[in-house]
A and B are shown apart, each in its own frame.
Chain A
Amino acid sequence: MSDRITRDEVVHVARLARLELGPDEIDAFTEQLARVLEHAADIESLDVDDVPPTSHPLPLVNVFRTDEVRASIDRREVLAQAPWAESDMFRVPPVLGEEP
């Protein structure tokens, strides 16, 4: 097993993503994620001092939308697909934990 990522870190990340993983899955993903990180490490070893950092692969900036109202969708259609609706709102289980 690689030392790029530990089993505990995989458990932690899975928890943050609300994924329930069995012991075999944790092992498998630890292995796979380690390989991904290994690949990232390969790229890190390149000398990129002269390459400006970019946040995006496209050579584009400032793509704006005009501030004009467009029709919204029918709430009946949306609420009909919700597991649970009440008073034209989405009904959700009591929220555990604070709003961030």
Chain B
Amino acid sequence: MSWSIEPTLPEGWELVVGLEVHVELSTATKLFCGCANRFGSEPNTNICPVCLGLPGSLPVINGTAVKYAMQLGRALLCDVKPAVMARKNYFYPDMPKDYQTTQYEQPTNSDGEVVLPDGFTVGIERAHIEEDTGKSTHIGGGGRINEAIYSLVDYNRAGVPLIEIVSRPCLDTIDHAKAYVSGLRDILLAIGVSDARMEEGSMRVDANVSVRPVGSDELRTRCELKNINSIRSMARAIEYEARRQIDLYTSGERPRQETRHWDEAAGRSTPGRSKENLDDYRFFQEPDLVPLVPTAEEIAAIDAAMPALPAARRAALVEASSADADVVATLVERGQDALALAAIGRGADADKVVTRLRHDLAVDDFSKVSAESFAALIVMETSGDLTATQAKQVLAELVDSGGDPRSIAAERGFEAMHDDELADLVDRLIADNPDEWQRFVGGHEGDRKKMQGFFIGQIMRATKGQADGRAVADLLAQRGRSPANGSPGT
């Protein structure tokens, strides 16, 4: 996993971050009507009386969306409970009904968790069902919301099913926030309920950020950051906000609770307009929709059909290989854990399996490498039938065209180069090149390195690349240490 280096905050301060992640479900239709749930349609082509909120229209909830919500809930280890839809009342042009249908006091999913690759557990407060809003384009004022001359609204997105996943304010570092969002994305892709594309807006992150003195457990005034378009942009926005708040505290001021817009190009956030009274949404239960009551059988069926999730897959690979957490996370992310487990199960050396996958199978398409052939290859390498160099070449061919590693090795004339053969060769070469050998034995570090390269090169040429470079280096070092190093070998 390519963790960036955690930016350090001024000494004595720590971050408190909670994330609200909105995810569009990949259903065929919207949440309350049969309009297509499709990204990229011509403006206002997927609209009807229900999603336009025309008087007299009645919503009926999409059964698939509810099922997806429960699947996600179970994947997030939530309690899945009877739920009631509610109206959140506010006036905004992208919400034609003048209220958003959502869940308030009784959400479908609550009290879950996501375990990150390093073992940190992120608490999930709730993951509730709601509908998306339309999309506004601000015209004039450089597209900035506060300076626009007017806005154009497309209602294709209004009524698209969303899950809002609310974490507890428990994220203590930017790296944990990043790992959490990518972990959520992996879970969503694994269960197939969303395509989770931040760049297309099917996964959107708002970050609630506050800071506090290290060691304190208070929750101070937070700011909500919006308009975050990627994981990278989230990391920058959180860091900027934390520094801004620390600056305020250290100069004797206090942050105001407000929503701030992240401007990715400028690398800073700007305050939104005052939200005076806007938090008064006058929620009430939606009279047009009946309660959602999952049965024990439904939940059991969802659990039974749940694919292996990233956290469980990482745990299985750690168990089988004892590899480091970050290496295991990389292999699971690449989808190579099944290959690793199968090869280890067939008796291949776990360390070697992990090393070859990590370094020599960093490719997009490894579908031609079967577990059987991969296991056979590692066994050949471990038993000394192939050198590391040869094993890598055979693996490259397996990636390109598949096949049996034994026949590939035979075709290439890779024969076992046994240890004593190699030792003989090394000794002969030392005897033939006494000057170089003296520089290797007696020279300073640079000379020694250079001469090691010379000897390995000679051996490689003599063996047409079949020797194992590391084994040669070991032999050279060993010969150099022996008391009679002035007159090597016998």
Query: Using a CB–CB distance below 8 Å, which chain A residues touch chain B?
Result: 12, 15-16, 18, 55-56, 58, 60-73, 75, 78-79, 86-100
Q: Say yes or no: is B149 at the interface (Cβ < 8 Å to chain A).
A: yes
A100 proximity list for chain B (CB < 8 A):
88, 90, 92, 275, 278, 281
Bound-complex Cα distance A89 to B45 (A): 10
Q: Name the one of B89, B137, B275, B282 contacting A89, with C-beta atoms under 8 angstroms.
A: B137
Contact B278 A62 (CB under 8 A): no
The CA-CA distance from A96 to B282 in the complex, in Å, is: 20
Partner of A90, one of B45, B153, B280: B153
**Chain B residues with Cβ under 8 A from A63's Cβ?**
60-61, 289-290
Q: Who on chain B is nearest to A69 by CB?
A: B36
B7 contacts the other chain (CB 8 A): no
The 3 tightest CB contacts between A and B, nearest first, are A70-B34, A64-B63, A67-B64
Complex CA gap A26/B273 in Å reads: 28
Contact A18 B91 (CB under 8 A): yes
Interface contact B90-A67, CB-CB below 8 Å: no
By the criterion CB–CB under 8 Å, are B152 and A91 in contact? Answer: yes
14 residue pairs A–B, Cβ–Cβ below 8 Å? A16-B282, A62-B291, A64-B62, A64-B66, A65-B61, A69-B29, A69-B36, A72-B48, A88-B43, A88-B44, A90-B93, A94-B140, A99-B133, A100-B88
Asked if A73 contacts B290 (CB within 8 A), the reply is no
- In the complex, number of A-B residue pairs with CB atoms less than 8 Å apart: 149
Identify the closest chain A residue to B281 (Cβ): A100
Given contacts A55-B285, A69-B34, A100-B281, 17 further A-B contacts (CB under 8 A): A56-B287, A56-B290, A64-B66, A65-B63, A70-B48, A78-B52, A87-B43, A89-B43, A90-B155, A91-B151, A93-B150, A94-B151, A96-B273, A97-B278, A99-B92, A99-B133, A100-B92
Give chain B nearest CB distance to A18 CB in angstroms. 6
Considering only CB atoms and an 8 Å cut-off, how many residues of chain B contact the other chain? Answer: 66
Tell me whether B154 is interfacial, beta carbon within 8 Å: yes
Kindly state whether residue B27 has any CB partner on chain A within 8 Å. yes
Given contacts A62-B290, A67-B65, contact A87 B34 (CB under 8 A): no
B126 to chain A, nearest CB (A): 18
Contact status B62-A70, CB under 8 Å: no
Whether B300 is near chain A, meaning CB under 8 Å from some CB there, is no
**A61 x B152 contact (CB < 8 A):** no
CA distance A79 to B149 in the complex (A): 20
Quick check: A58 and B290 within 8 Å, CB to CB?
A: yes
* Set of chain A residues within 8 Å of B91, measured between Cβ atoms: 18
In the bound complex, what is the Cα–Cα distance between A75 and B45 (angstroms)?
6
- Collect the chain A residues with CB atoms within 8 Å of residue B226's CB: 99
Chain B binding surface SS class: loop
In the complex, the answer to whether B47 meets A86 with C-beta atoms within 8 Å is no
In the bound assembly, the distance between CA atoms of A51 and B66 in angstroms comes to 28
Give the docked Cα–Cα distance between A93 and B226 (Å).
Answer: 22
Contact B154 A72 (CB under 8 A): no
B residues less than 8 Å from A71 (CB atoms):
34
Interface of A, secondary structure class, is: loop
Cα separation A72 to B37 with both chains bound (whole Å): 11
Of A12, A61, A96, most B-chain CB atoms within 10 Å? A61
Question: Please, which residues of chain A bring their CB within 8 A of the CB of B153?
Answer: 89-92
B435 within 8 A of A: no
Q: Is the CB of A91 within 8 A of B150?
A: yes
Considering the complex, which residues of chain B in the window 1-58 have a beta carbon less than 8 Å from any beta carbon of chain A? 27-29, 32-36, 42-49, 52
Do the beta carbons of B65 and A69 come within 8 Å of each other? no
Q: Would A68 and B28 be within 8 Å (CB), given that A15-B277, A75-B47, A95-B93 are in contact?
A: yes
Residue A55 contacts which of B27, B32, B84, B92 (CB distance < 8 angstroms)? B84
- Contact present for A67 and B27 (CB under 8 Å): yes
B111 at the interface (CB under 8 A from A): no
**Is the Cβ of A95 less than 8 Å from the Cβ of B151?**
yes
Question: At the interface, yes or no: B306 with Cβ under 8 Å from chain A?
Answer: no
Min distance, Cβ B223 to any Cβ of chain A, angstroms:
13
Beyond A78-B52, A93-B150, is A98–B272 a contact (Cβ under 8 Å)? yes
- Establish whether residues A98 and B151, one from each chain, have CB atoms under 8 Å apart when the complex forms: no
Contact A64/B60 with A18-B91, A97-B273 known, Cβ cut-off 8 Å: yes
Please measure, in the bound complex, the distance between the C-alpha atom of A89 and the C-alpha atom of B62, giving whole angstroms.
26
Which residues of chain A are within 8 angstroms of B285 by Cβ–Cβ distance? 55-56
| Closest partner residue, chain A, to B140 (CB atom) | A94
Closest beta carbon of chain A to B463's beta carbon, Å: 63
Query: Which residues of the partner chain A approach B149 to less than 8 Å between Cβ atoms?
Result: 94
Chain A residues positioned under 8 Å from B312 (CB to CB):
none
State the CA gap A51–B45 with chains docked (Å): 47
Nearest A residue to B85 via CB reads A55
A45 to B152, CA, bound (A): 50
| Chain A hits for B138, CB < 8 A | 94-95
The reply to whether B44 and A78 form a contact with Cβ atoms under 8 Å apart is yes
- Chain A contacts of B47 at CB under 8 A? 72-73, 75, 78
What 1/0 mask marks residues of chain B from 456 to 478 whose CB sits below 8 Å from any chain A CB? 00000000000000000000000
Asked if B35 contacts A95 (CB within 8 A), the reply is no
Closest to A63 in B: B290
Nearest CB of chain B from residue A95's CB, rounded to whole Å: 6
Does B338 lie at the interface of the complex (its beta carbon under 8 Å from any beta carbon of A)? no
Chain B residues with CB under 8 Å of A86's CB are 152
CA distance in complex: A71, B46 (Å):
8
List, in ascending order, chain B residues with CB within 8 A of A93's CB: 150-151
